[in-house]
Structure 1
Amino acid sequence: MKRKYILPLFLFFQIVFLKVLAFFPEFVEKWYSNGLYIYISKISRTILGKIPFSVGDLIYTVAIIYVFYWLIKNRKTGWKNITLSVLSFISVIYFAFHFLWAFNYYRVPLFEKMEINREYTDDDLLNFTEKLIDKTNEIHHKITKDKTKKVINPYSQNQIFEMTQNGFDRLAKQHSYFSYSNPSQKKSLLSLPLTYMGFGGYLNPFTNEAQVNDKLPMYGFPNVVCHEMAHQIGFGSESECNFIGFLAGISNEDLYFQYSAYSNALRYCIGTIAAKDEKLFKQLKQKVHPGIIENYKESEVFWKQYDTFIDKAFHAFYDQYLKSNQQEDGIDSYSKFIDLLINYYRIKGIL
């Protein structure tokens, strides 16, 4: 067999292997997520965590430029050779992607790990949302002392990166599998493109850096950091990372972290009710402090500035990406963490 066919064939075998691996989440959980991955991620974060800029973003930028250069340079090589070369490149990247992080998509679901039910009724949602409104109002008032004022986070983004560890340390005392060490959070060098794409952050699976969009409204910034850190400790599901990010936020001693987590969860819950019952949504909205609503409007205004066909195209692409990686709800997976919240609250009895 000619060498140029080896890597394209390897790509085919990788795809088949992943189809089979999906039936063995316990194997992935034991040997990869709680085994090999722990060492891979700690090594990556130890080496790159102290570098003040995003190494992953630089790698992506250089890679994209090189791909365009290579395609122009080899445009006359012939479609067969170009196709084989592209497939070989994809094969190597696909292997690195899964080996360094993405096998975590195939681990045991968090609701099984934590023995949390995923079902809830409309009454469960309403009851939880009302409790969440009370709690968010309480935190909001502790910060602002005024129902009408929006929360303005006083910390710098670098300070927030440092402060996030507190929440994970406290959370790990309750659930050891949420332990986080060797921090590596970065302000993305690609924040403007990320904003046009409609993303608040992402985990670079090759460098294990938590990349955060530095243009985001600051009241919600801590919650985004906690979400990306959840990806770093080996959770691929967006709903699970929203849930873990929420727990890390409310576990933090700082009120601004708590507010960021509670207000984000409340927005999802009220949004879910709005989609089902407009009248009930309006009733609940009246109970929310006007200052909290102002923070929501702040986010809406921010994202509306960058609302173009670009974010819709990337969201459609990302929707398919998630569906191909064990998240059948696609981009709607982000809101599915509500069932984890409601049933976790049912077990704990407190927010």
Structure 2
Amino acid sequence: MERQKTYKILTLLLLMQWAFVQILSQYPSFIEKYYSNGLYLYISKFMRLILGWLPFSFGDLIYIALIVVILYSIFKLFKKKKIALKTAFFKIGALASILFFVFHLNWGLNYLRPSLSSHLKIDNKPYTDEELITFTKKLIHKTNQIHYSITNNDTILIQKNISKKEIREYSFEAYKQLATIYPQFKHQTSSLKNSLFSVPLTYMGFAGYLNPVTNEAQVNYLIPKNSYPATVCHELAHQIGIAPESEANFVSYLATKHSKNPFFNYAGSTMALRYCLADIYRKQPAQFELLKKELNKGILKDLKESQEFWQSYQNWSEKYFKLFYDSFLKANKQKDGIKGYSKMVTLLINYYNIEEHQL
């Protein structure tokens, strides 16, 4: 009886927590000062200190345990001759209440902070097709230069003799270099790991994620090596409190751009190029074909290899996982959902305009 009462109280608290978050969302400056640059810094550092040294993902083990508990509870529920729907409702509500609280306390409130564009004083104005094409041409030229500096041959696919473990280690050097320019992106204490769910992640179409409970950055170890540095830096951006996907991509671009490692420069530049070319393809397919011809053949081989990798794992379930993630983002005040990834191009072009056209 006492347990049933606890379930009811926790379910009621879920509604109160939701209402409280809605109120907090109206005060992004408060979140920025007291949570993102206050409480969160201590929570995230503490979690990385106690779990970062583990060679495996503790957060993934929590997920596995949670899945087992949920499946077992469902099994027990249907095994009973009479299903107590009311009891089941409050049990689910209690679990959801605990998860809601831990998620927002440990990381989720970062969704409510002011936008990165306002923080870095970057305009958020829509770009014209002309600006998009001009920027993409500059980016193609820069990417070609980086590619040639590594291969000394514009037709060769980059085959870098570096392990993914070394890439993960070097990513922190990239953030140290970025912090000399933007101190707000300072990253301390490593907690970056391969995901135990890399195979299912690939089938779902995801390259990585941050565990909001343990603050461990998880990377899909199956993804192609040439895009691995940008993915790692993307997850590290989440780890320092950059929540929206487009903003995490942009910080990843900045980290790889300012890195002293040409391989990181290349990974970040090709990531940005993919977003720009995809945007042009949607708007002007003929212009896309013209721009594609300006790329080094070695880069085209790289882009094709990446596309073939993801296509080889495409399946019927991917769209449902993407739909779920889209709903998750919208529930966390990301009104554009998964389409928010395209805001990366807006950040890139407006940043390019204020940085005196320096790529």
Letter in 2 for 1:210: A
Deviations 1:13-53 (A, max 9, x none): 11111111111000000000000000000011111111111
SS at match of 1:309: coil
How far has the Cα of 1:165 moved from its partner? 1.0
Alpha-carbon distance between aligned partners in 1 of 2:110 and 2:57, rounded to the nearest angstrom:
23
State yes or no: 1:291 paired with 2:294: no
Q: CA deviation at 1:215?
A: 0.3
Task: Measure how far apart 1:236 and its partner are.
Answer: 0.7
1:47 to 20, 45, 50: 50
Q: Whole-Å Cα distance in 2 between the matches of residues 193 and 30 of structure 1?
A: 38
Q: 2:355 matched to which residue of 1?
A: 348
Aligned partners of 2:198 and 2:221 also within 8 Å: yes
Greater Cα shift, 331-340 or 238-247: 331-340
Asked whether 1:113 is paired with 2:119, we answer yes
Q: 2-side partners of 1:162 and 1:104: how far apart?
A: 25
For residues 19-58 of structure 1, the aligned pairs below 5 Å read: 19-58=22-61
**In the alignment, which of 73, 78, 102 is matched to residue 76 of structure 2?**
73
Deviations 1:234-254 (A, max 9, x none): 011001000000000111111
Q: Secondary structure at the match of 1:74?
A: helix
Shift in Å, 1:304? 1.0
Whichever residue aligns with residue 257 of structure 1, its letter is: F
**Map of 1:96 onto structure 2:** 102
After TM superposition, give the deviation of residue 3 of structure 1 in Å: 3.5
SS at match of 1:189: coil
Give the equivalent residue in structure 1 for 2:67. 64
2:250 aligns with one of 243, 250, 257: 243
User: Does the CA contact (< 8 Å) of 2:7 and 2:93 recur in 1?
Assistant: no
In 1: Cα distance, 2:88 partner to 2:5 partner: 15
- 2:182 matched residue in structure 1: 175
1:280-300 Cα deviation digits (max 9, x unpaired) = 111111101111111111111
CA distance in 2, matches of 1:3, 1:101: 26
- Are residue 333 (structure 1) and residue 340 (structure 2) matched? yes
Q: 1:202: which partner in 2?
A: 209
Tell me if the contact between 2:144 and 2:295 (Cα under 8 Å) persists in the aligned partners.
Answer: yes
TM-score by length of 2: 0.96
Task: Please say which of residues 225-234 and 169-178 is displaced more in the overlay.
Answer: 169-178
Residue in structure 2 matched with residue 128 of structure 1 by the alignment: 135
Paired residue secondary structure (2:217): strand
Query: Which amino acid letter does the alignment assign opposite residue 103 of structure 2?
Result: F
Query: In 2, Cα distance between the equivalents of 1:16 and 1:344?
Result: 36
What's the offset of the Cα at 1:270? Answer: 1.0
The corresponding residue for 2:265 is 258
1:279 aligns with 2:286: yes
Aligned to 1:315: 322
**Aligned partners of 2:20 and 2:218: how far apart in 1?**
30
Q: Which runs of 4+ in 1 moved over 4 A?
A: none
Q: Distance in 2 between matches of 1:134 and 1:52?
A: 40
Q: Are 1:82 and 2:88 an aligned pair?
A: yes
Structure 1: distance between partners of 2:124 and 2:312: 36
Query: Shift of residue 71 of structure 1?
Result: 2.0
Q: What amino acid is the match of 2:115?
A: P
**Deviating more after overlay: 134-143 vs 122-131:** 122-131
Q: Distance in 2 between matches of 1:327 and 1:290?
A: 37
Among 274, 277, 281, the alignment partner of 1:270 is: 277
In the alignment, does 2:194 pair up with 1:187? yes
Unmatched tracts of structure 1, length 5 or more? none
Distance 2:300 2:334 in 1: 31
For residue 35 of structure 1, what is the amino acid of its counterpart?
G
**Amino acid in the other structure paired with 2:39:** L
Alpha-carbon separation, structure 1, partners of 2:341 and 2:146: 24
| Paired letter, 2:11 | P
Q: Which amino acid in structure 1 is aligned with residue 213 of structure 2? A: F
Tell whether 2:8 aligns with 1:5.
yes
SS at match of 1:115: coil
Count of equivalent residues:
351
TM-score of the pair, normalised by structure 1: 0.98
Local SS of the residue matching 1:84? helix
Aligned to 1:18, which of 3, 17, 21? 21
Range 67-76 or range 251-260, more displaced: 67-76
Deviation string 1:295-317 (CA, Å, 9 cap, x unpaired) is 11111111111100111110011
Aligned equivalents of 2:245 and 2:42: distance in 1?
A: 23
**Structure 2: gaps of 5 or more residues:** none
